Structure 1
Amino acid sequence: MNSFLTHGVIAMLLSFSSICLAAIPATVRVDYMHTGNAKTEQYALSRVLIEPLPWPGNLQQNIDTSDRGVNKVEVSDLKTGELIYSRGFSTIFGEWKSTDEASKLNRGFEESVRFPKPSNPVRVTILKRNESNTFVPVWSVDIDTDAQDVIRKQPRAIAKPVPIVVSGPSPEKVDLLILGDGYSAAEMKKFIADARRLSAHLFKVSPFKERAKDFNVWAIAVPTSESGVSRPSTGVHHASALGTRYDIFGSERYILTTDNRALRDIAQNAPYEFIEILVNNETYGGGGIFGQFSTAAAKNDWAEYLFVHELGHHFAGLADEYYTSPVAYQSSEVLPEPWEPNATTLRDPANLKWKHKVRPGTPLPTPWPKTVFDQHAKEYQQSRIQLRAQNRPESEMSALFKEDLQFNRQLFSNASHKNDVGAYEGANYESTGYFRPQMQCIMFDRSDSFCDVCNEAINVIIDLYSKSGAKK
């Protein structure tokens, strides 16, 4: 892989090398409102626009076969009904809907779907999984991308992309865009250095390591007047173009932006299919939503872990495999089978979703030292809460995390099924009822590698977006 610093390289890449430019469609974005509460949902069209750059995706991979996400967008020819594009995704609204607040009031979130510009009018349909995990339509809108009210001209970009890693033409590669928030004008070099450092780490972790040549990485940051993003629980409020902040849904470590329009208007100035936002903060935190974006605190001692873990959510729809840390979501009496590839209810062990990875004779459920782990986790979480309540230095929190990881490694080192793929109870924020594939994984604790099932799940998405995947 080569790294380039000139915008001339971007122009070259956007010409898509040997691919005829005339054959590359424009990028259509549909912005819409998603509103409601814990029981009801509504949708309304906001605007349709043509983004400044051509479609970055592989036109041979327009149909999503991964079966990921709470939602799916389908774009069909209005006259013939032919499906011409689809992608699974999840939403901030979907997460908010499971919080206590959603049972008390209505809220609205703006969302977007993007697709290659069609030649004819289309029907854009949003689908959602029902109780049996089947996608069913919940809203549709007919769109003529040549209509007069489609936005075709936008203000000049307030920030330009910097190429971090360029492996080839965008339609042949996965395009990852790193956005910066909370970096002042004087810190732009620091942002680029952070983007280089964390993306370099990503490509040291399997399967990204083995598939590095399937990726391009770009970086954009709009300078802020102050360093860092808002952390309302501590009285810190900073303005920024992206509006990224801590304390989402009342979780002190959860970092998101709820300003989708700002996010998309900045991101559209680079080729992208996936976005990770780096916040210029030391406090531990991050977040990730499948098909939307992920976030990570770049100045934290665990930034490398955060970058990869949160990208696992956003990129491959991986579930959190931990269950001892407090989260904003409300637990349900009935645990549905997760759509995520790395968690299950194990209601039918004979048809375990990752049974092809399980060695004959491996017991299901698979025993592990859960009782000892749970007792330690209870004490560890109490210490964590106290450190935050007392506003102790971040170095003390980092030291606690290190001690916790060392305890886990020691505990699991003598476990009989340490390296086996099986079904280990405790996952998806629940101590019982959900099972994960292996004892340790980046999605379970602060380990440095993905389990075999997550590794395979990531490769499926790389294949969906890259030329090498299209050849399989």
Structure 2
Amino acid sequence: MSLRSTVSAALLALCLSPGAQAAQAAQAARQPATVRLDYTHSGNALDEHYAVERVLIEPLPWPGDLSQRFDDTNRGNNRVEVADAKTGDLLYSRDFSTVFGEWKTTEEANKVSRGFHESVRFPKFDKPVRVRILKRDERNGFSVAWSIEVDADGQDVVRKQAPALAQPIPIVVNGPSPQKVDLLILGDGYTQADMQKFEADARRLSAHLFAVSPFKERARDFNVWAMAVPTRESGISRPSTGVHHASALGTRYDIFGSERYVLTLDNRALRDIAQYAPYEFIEILVNNDTYGGGGIFGQFSTAAAGNEWAEYLFVHEFGHHFAGLADEYYTSPVAYQSSGARMEPWEPNVTALRDPARLKWKQHVQAGTPLPTPWPKADYESASRAYQKRRAALRATNRPESEMSALFREDLARTRELFAPARYRTAIGAFEGANYEASGYYRPAMQCIMFDRSEQFCPVCRDGISEIIDLYARPAK
């Protein structure tokens, strides 16, 4: 058995019975290595360029199910395809989105060019392959943006790396990685003295995730790992308030000028740390009390673990990262600019409603429900404008976070009171206002975790999540 297989088997051995350990070790020995292609994605609002940085073999074997090599969910702004370099036969594919893709829609992208580090991972094949990065075109289909031949046995491939900066902690292990969805929870802004707090945060928030449907019903299809590289100071950077902290992951607030948007722009550091645990999805917990988070489909999500709304943030942002769910709210300020176009979104939970008879979630719509579906939109928007002014004032005057949390509770209670008597309160339909736009886009339900700080996903979002679980996990028996 290879060293990579031994390491992976040892992690699971911490949690499995002797018989299960033997089965896991045998399966790990059959798994191919994990190949990672690191590259630079640069450009501006009008132009894009790609350049290879390096190819490496990660320390652990491929965590995925080799019988589920092709992605047919049609999510994301991008797709990676791995094909036989000689025959062109498709060997592997996955859909994803990028930080560059989000930045490209900001005002800054109209003025300057920037470069972003990105990675794609795939199982090692016993032949040279052609890796293609595709992006959505004006027809909403995928077309090739970049193509490069990769020989994972070539001399330039990195095969040995520095020791891990942290060791993974098994939070929940339900079986061998190829049969499960592997979620890795990374910590940032946790000092060595905060490590017990990090593990408690990871256990608390992952437990909440599996209390929310459909994760609740599919909990046995997941493994959860946790890992954090200690920092010298507690908390992450928040530049808008003059707070700057160094960390291995480089996670920070104020991404794209949005005070609540939390991401890391250091993809190489993220991947170099994460590669020492089995993973397909990553959520980063930041050791801060200030409300904030973010999520990029197929990349990672973030949540402020110390905030009163941490459970909501963890689940909402994971919805973006895991299933490519769109934000259904539209009254909060965002960094993105409207294109004015109303192309049908690829996200499963929003629509431009060009043809109501072909609504993508029509199976959930009961006969007699009008499309578009009436709701107290004008009253909601009036109340939301007043709420947003108060929210901005609290941030501008740097008021205690407890006051912001109280405002959130008040806003949620007001929304519930407003929606309670609405005729289609519990219906699935097409409610105008979604995807950061007041008009032209529609959401499936009046309320959902993707719309406000509610506790549950609507049936359409649950379907979207279940489809991704099915792509990565063999249903538990």
TM-score between both structures, scaled by the size of structure 1: 0.97
Preserved contact between residue 63 and residue 279 of structure 2 (Cα < 8 Å): yes
Match of 2:48 among 17, 24, 41: 41
User: For residues 282-301 of structure 1, what are the structure 2 equivalents within 5 Å?
Assistant: 282-301=289-308
Report Cα offsets for 1:198-257 as digits up to 9, x if no partner: 000000000000000000000000000000000000000000000000000000000000
Name the amino acid aligned to 2:97. Answer: S
Match of 1:153 in 2: 160
Partners of 2:72 and 2:22 in 1: CA distance: 28
CA contact (8 A) 1:321 1:427 kept: yes
Distance in 1 separating the partners of 2:221 and 2:375:
37
CA deviations 1:58-100 (Å, max 9, x no partner) are 1110100110000000000111211110000000000000000
- Which residue identity is paired with 1:70? N
**Which residue does the alignment assign to 2:6?**
none
Question: The residue matched to 1:168 in structure 2 has which SS?
Answer: coil
C-alpha displacement of 1:325: 0.2
Pairing 1:199–2:201 present:
no
Q: CA 1:57/1:8 → structure 2, altered by over 3 Å: closer, same or farther?
A: closer
Amino acid at match of 1:26: A
Residue aligned with 2:101, SS:
helix
- Cα shift readout 1:26-61 (whole Å, capped 9, x = no counterpart): 000000000000000000100000000000001110
CA contact (8 A) 1:16 1:171 kept: no
Distance 1:78 1:423, change over 3 A: same
**1:272 lines up with 2:276 in the alignment:** no
* Structure 1 position 23, deviation (Å): 1.9
Aligned pairs, number: 465
One-letter identity of the residue aligned with 2:242: G
Distance 2:282 2:258 in 1: 22
- Which amino acid in structure 1 is aligned with residue 315 of structure 2? V
The aligned residue for residue 379 of structure 1 is 386
Hey, what does 1:365 align to over in structure 2? 372
Q: Matched residues in 2 for 1:442 and 1:117: separation?
A: 38
Q: How far does the alpha carbon of each residue in 1:395-434 deviate from its partner, in whole angstroms, 9 at most, with x for none?
A: 0000000000001111111110011110000000000110
Specify which of 129, 140, 143 is matched with residue 136 of structure 2: 129
Q: 1:61 aligns with which of 68, 85, 100?
A: 68
Tell me the residue number matched to 1:211.
Answer: 218
The reply to whether residue 83 of structure 1 matches residue 116 of structure 2 is: no
1:169 aligns with 2:176: yes
- Asked whether the equivalents of residues 72 and 128 of structure 1 are also in contact (C-alpha less than 8 Å), the reply is yes
Shift, 1:350, TM fit: 0.7
d(CA) in 2 for partners of 1:170 and 1:338?
Answer: 32
* Cα distance in 2 between the residues matched to 1:404 and 1:64: 39
Q: Does 1:419 align with 2:439?
A: no
Tell me the TM-score normalised to structure 2 length: 0.96
Contact 1:14 1:54 in 2 (8 A): no
| Correspondence for 1:3 | none
Once residues 341 and 53 of structure 2 are traced to their aligned partners in structure 1, the CA distance between those partners, rounded to angstroms, is 35
Give the unaligned 5+ runs of structure 2: 1-9
Residue type matched to 1:271 in 2?
P
Q: 2:413 aligned with 1:406, yes or no?
A: yes
Distance 1:58 1:257 in 2: 28
How far off is 1:9 after superposition?
Answer: 2.7
Q: Please give the alpha-carbon distance, in whole angstroms, between the structure 1 residues aligned to 2:337 and 2:150.
A: 37
What is the aligned partner in structure 2 of residue 189 from structure 1?
196
Larger CA deviation: 349-358 vs 173-182: 349-358
Give the 5 Å matches for 1:436-451.
436-451=443-458
In structure 2, the partner of 1:28 is 35
Please, what is the CA RMSD of the aligned residues?
1.4
Query: What is the rounded CA distance, in whole Å, between the counterparts of 2:254 and 2:134 in structure 1?
Result: 29
Q: Secondary structure at the match of 1:467?
A: coil
Label 1:50 to 1:95 Cα distance change in 2 as closer, same or farther (>3 A).
same
Amino acid across the alignment from 1:99: T
1:257 aligns with 2:261: no
Post-superposition offset of 1:15: 7.3
**Structure 1 position 22, deviation (Å):** 3.5
Aligned pairs for 1:224-263 (under 5 A) are: 224-263=231-270
The structure-2 alpha-carbon separation of the partners of 1:218 and 1:14, relative to structure 1 and needing over 3 Å to count, comes to farther
Aligned-pair identity (%):
69
SS at the partner of 1:49? strand
Partner of 2:13: 9
| One-letter amino acid of the structure 2 residue matched with residue 29 of structure 1 | R
In structure 1, what residue type is equivalent to 2:277? A
For the 8 Å contact 2:105–2:336, the answer to whether it is kept is yes
The answer to whether the 8 Å contact 1:342/1:453 transfers is yes
Deviation (angstroms), 1:7:
4.9
SS at match of 2:263: coil
Q: Give the distance between the partners of 1:140 and 1:15, measured in 2 at CA.
A: 40
Give secondary structure in 2 for the equivalent of 1:288. strand
Corresponding residue SS for 2:262: coil
- Matched to 2:199, the amino acid is I
- The offset of 1:11, in angstroms, is 9.4
Q: Which moved more, 1:203-212 or 1:22-31?
A: 22-31
Cα distance in structure 2, aligned partners of 1:69 and 1:443 = 17
The amino acid across from 1:163 in the alignment is P
